């Protein structure tokens, strides 16, 4: 079961586009929120907005020794206070998920700690790009309802809130999963889920209050305005692709090598404990420009977190470092070092870095200017998911997010050379002045698919193919720093593993609709050929070419533009194959020359 923010159906029109060469008219994306309207009608009597805490009318959390002290779902079942504590979700704890800072209710077990949505008016103030809800459903399926946002200028907009069920909803989209469900008769060994869901706001308007939907199976624990970040530009990013066993690392320092796109005079980093079931402790962290290997160019500069040198990151959440005055060069390698004072046996990682990073001998070596302590190498990026650079007055240029699979991730590109096609696109952007010098954020995951999860989204796993593009869209695109355009370049893994062209097209349409609902431009890239690879049969190629026909027909309707990567890489004499000069040798992934051709083919004006 997967949460769907948008309802997507495969119509006869869609099927005809997939099987015919004559373009059909594609549906225009449906906006996620009704346009804001001025309050010109006769005044209506509405209840005075109250803080969410004053509206709490349901108790979801019980102590394990008193499991009958809460009844979350009307059947006597509840969340375990001890499980929440073990995950780092303690009363009053600030939790950052998808860039939104939410607070877990400051309540003791057995006290009301959430609101059953019934049209209540909640006092919420702030400017931002989205409302963020910490929610769960208790009706056995996805729960939805329509609410209203009221702004200080008297205007309003509607929103649609959907939340998955706390016991059977998808693990791939949850914020945190707890190992037990409490009942009056004892604990059940099944996972309890909590979700963070965001909905768009009218840009540039200050929120005054929020009217909740009417659906009493929708439970709201926290609500906030997610601040937008025009002062920051995303310069580097990587998606969490799974949670494999690591190390184990005890009292070790990781020194990760990452390659920037945009530069700037300030920096902050983002660390994500995505998919985890326990908190992780960061003892201290630094940033430096790389000279070579684990050697910095100058002394590493300490980062801070809320004014402290270290921080704890609860399960399923993230943390941003404080802004630091530090000159980040464009298109350069940084060393981001952080000390893990405890023992880490499994960690959220981006599995395919195509880059060597370093692990130290025991001790805090984040500030070391010499490389001597870094005696081991790794080929993935644990915990670190973003580097942002600060802009001057008026804000930064914004970022282009590339949502893709192993071809975007850089599989078969030269290690340590930064020849992934998004890196080369960033080079082009920095070397011109016709369009803004956007940051480029690479959210490719090797083996990733559009419509099917490879990694289930919970637990320690050897599969690091990630959750589906549909399930990671909110985290890896919509919540990314200063995102303005998304390039979607996926689908080959779906058809190689049996998905139909109709299923892939429906998934791509949903991605476009959801991204358009947040005000992003959406570009789609056609799927490149792969004949000669074991799974790329003639039947697979037929599905691939059907998806490509649909993508090309969707330019200007479903998508804001199309990048015809198929035409760039295919062999004119055998269009089912990659041109030999671009082939890495496995017939599925381009080599360095092929990646350069893809980057050069992008019309920068479309971004």
Mean pLDDT of 76-100: 98
Contact 402, 236 (CB under 8 A): no
Residue 229's pLDDT is 83
The DSSP H or E segment spanning 297 is none
Residue 228's pLDDT is 87
CB contact burial 178-213 (16+ within 10 A = b; e otherwise): bebbbbeeeeeeebbbbbbbbbbbbeebebbbbbbb
Long-range own/partner contacts, residues 184-188 (CB < 8 A, 24 or more apart): 184/67, 184/68, 184/76, 186/67, 187/64, 187/67, 187/80, 188/77
Residue 392's pLDDT is 66
Q: Please give the C-alpha separations between residue 554 and each of 22, 189, 362, 602, in angstroms, as whole numbers.
A: 12, 47, 55, 18
Residue 574's pLDDT is 98
Paired sense of beta strands 483-489 and 439-444, if any: unpaired
Contact 233, 397 (CB under 8 A): yes
Mean pLDDT of 125-149: 97
**What is the chain's mean pLDDT, rounded?**
93
Contact 330, 289 (CB under 8 A): no
Look at residue 39 and tell me whether its pLDDT is greater than 90: no
pLDDT tier for residue 203 given thresholds of 50, 70 and 90 = confident
Residue 44's pLDDT is 52
Contact 400, 563 (CB under 8 A): no
Which pLDDT tens digit goes with each residue over 238-265? 999 999 999 999 999 999 999 999 999 9
Q: Please give the C-alpha separations between residue 225 and each of 32, 206, 340, in angstroms, as whole numbers.
A: 16, 10, 32
Contact 85, 115 (CB under 8 A): no
Residue 23's pLDDT is 34
Mean pLDDT of 329-339: 98
Look at residue 22 and tell me whether its pLDDT is greater than 60: no
pLDDT tier for residue 45 given thresholds of 50, 70 and 90 = low
More confident residue, 125 or 1: 125
Look at residue 15 and tell me whether its pLDDT is greater than 50: no
The DSSP H or E segment spanning 51 is none
Paired sense of beta strands 399-404 and 439-444, if any: parallel
Comparing C-alpha atoms, which of 475, 485, 476 is closest to residue 520? 485
Which pLDDT tens digit goes with each residue over 509-539? 999 999 999 999 999 999 999 999 999 999 9
The DSSP-derived string for 541-576 is: HHHHHHHHHHHHHTBTTTBSEEE-HHHHHEETTEEE
Residue 62's pLDDT is 98
Question: What whole-number percentage of the chain has pLDDT above 90?
Answer: 90
Comparing C-alpha atoms, which of 81, 63, 76, 180 is closest to residue 138? 76
Residue 434's pLDDT is 96
CB neighbour list of residue 416: distance below 8 Å, 6 or more residues apart: 257, 354, 355, 356
Residue 394's pLDDT is 64
pTM (2 d.p.)? 0.92
Q: Is 597 helix (H, G, I), strand (E, B) or coil?
A: helix
Residue 13's pLDDT is 34
pLDDT tier for residue 395 given thresholds of 50, 70 and 90 = confident
Query: How far is residue 597's CA from residue 607's CA, in Å, rounded to a whole number?
Result: 17
pLDDT tier for residue 331 given thresholds of 50, 70 and 90 = very high
Which pLDDT tens digit goes with each residue over 405-430? 999 999 999 999 999 999 999 999 99
Query: How far is residue 266's CA from residue 106's CA, in Å, rounded to a whole number?
Result: 34
Residue 393's pLDDT is 64
Least confident of 30-34, 146-150, 200-204, 297-301: 30-34
Mean pLDDT of 465-477: 98
Residue 24's pLDDT is 33
Contact 275, 291 (CB under 8 A): no
Mean pLDDT of 472-493: 98
More confident residue, 268 or 34: 268
Residue 230's pLDDT is 84
């Amino acid at each position: 079961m997967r949460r769907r923010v948008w309802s997507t159906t495969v119509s006869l029109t869609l099927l005809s586009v997939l099987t015919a060469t004559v373009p059909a008219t594609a549906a225009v994306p449906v906006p996620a929120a009704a346009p804001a309207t001025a309050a010109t009608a006769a005044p209506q009597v509405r209840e005075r907005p109250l803080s969410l805490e004053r509206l709490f009318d349901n108790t979801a959390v019980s102590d394990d020794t008193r499991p009958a002290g809460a009844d979350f779902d009307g059947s006597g079942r509840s969340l375990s206070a001890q499980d929440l504590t073990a995950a780092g979700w303690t009363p009053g704890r600030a939790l950052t998920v998808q860039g939104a800072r939410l607070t877990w209710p400051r309540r003791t077990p057995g006290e009301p700690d959430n609101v059953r949505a019934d049209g209540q008016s909640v006092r919420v103030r702030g400017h931002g790009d989205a409302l963020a809800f910490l929610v769960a459903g208790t009706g056995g399926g996805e729960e939805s309802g329509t609410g209203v946002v009221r702004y200080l200028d008297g205007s309003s907009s509607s929103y649609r809130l959907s939340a998955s069920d706390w016991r059977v909803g998808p693990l791939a989209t949850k914020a945190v999963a707890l190992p037990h469900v409490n009942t009056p008769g004892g604990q059940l060994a099944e996972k309890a889920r909590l979700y963070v869901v965001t909905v768009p706001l009218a840009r540039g308007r200050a929120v005054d209050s929020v009217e909740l939907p009417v659906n009493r199976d929708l439970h709201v624990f926290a609500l906030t305005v997610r601040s937008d970040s025009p002062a920051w530009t995303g310069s580097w990013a990587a998606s969490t692709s799974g949670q494999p066993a690591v190390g184990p690392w005890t009292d070790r320092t990781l020194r990760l090598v990452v390659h920037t796109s945009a530069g700037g005079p300030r920096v902050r980093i983002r660390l994500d404990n995505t998919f985890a079931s326990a908190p992780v402790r960061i003892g201290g962290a630094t940033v430096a420009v790389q000279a070579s290997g684990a050697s910095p160019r100058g002394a590493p500069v300490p980062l801070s977190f809320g004014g402290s040198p270290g921080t704890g990151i609860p399960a399923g959440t993230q943390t941003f470092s404080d802004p630091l005055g530090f000159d980040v060069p464009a298109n350069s390698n940084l060393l981001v070092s952080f000390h893990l004072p405890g023992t880490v046996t499994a960690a959220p990682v981006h599995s395919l870095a195509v880059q060597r990073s370093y692990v130290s001998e025991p001790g805090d070596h984040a500030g070391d200017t010499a490389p001597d302590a870094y005696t081991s190498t790794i080929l993935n990026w644990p915990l670190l998911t973003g580097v942002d650079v600060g802009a001057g007055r008026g804000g930064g240029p914004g970022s282009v997010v590339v949502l893709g699979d192993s071809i975007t991730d850089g599989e078969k590109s030269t290690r340590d050379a930064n020849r992934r096609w998004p890196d080369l696109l960033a080079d082009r952007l920095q070397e011109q002045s016709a369009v803004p010098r956007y940051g480029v954020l690479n959210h490719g995951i090797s083996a990733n698919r559009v419509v099917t999860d490879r990694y289930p989204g919970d637990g320690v796993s050897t599969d690091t193919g990630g959750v589906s593009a549909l399930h990671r869209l909110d985290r890896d695109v919509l919540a990314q720093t200063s995102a303005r355009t998304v390039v979607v370049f996926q689908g080959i893994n779906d058809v190689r593993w049996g998905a139909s062209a109709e299923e892939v097209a429906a998934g791509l349409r949903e991605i476009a609709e959801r991204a358009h609902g947040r005000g992003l431009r959406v570009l789609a890239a056609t799927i490149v050929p792969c004949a000669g690879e074991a799974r790329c049969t003639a039947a697979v190629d037929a599905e691939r070419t059907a998806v490509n026909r649909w993508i090309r027909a969707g330019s200007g309707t479903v998508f804001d533009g199309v990048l015809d990567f198929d035409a760039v890489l295919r062999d004119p004499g055998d269009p089912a194959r990659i041109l030999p000069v671009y082939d890495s040798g496995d017939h599925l992934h381009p080599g360095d020359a092929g990646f350069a051709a893809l980057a050069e083919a992008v019309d920068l004006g479309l971004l």
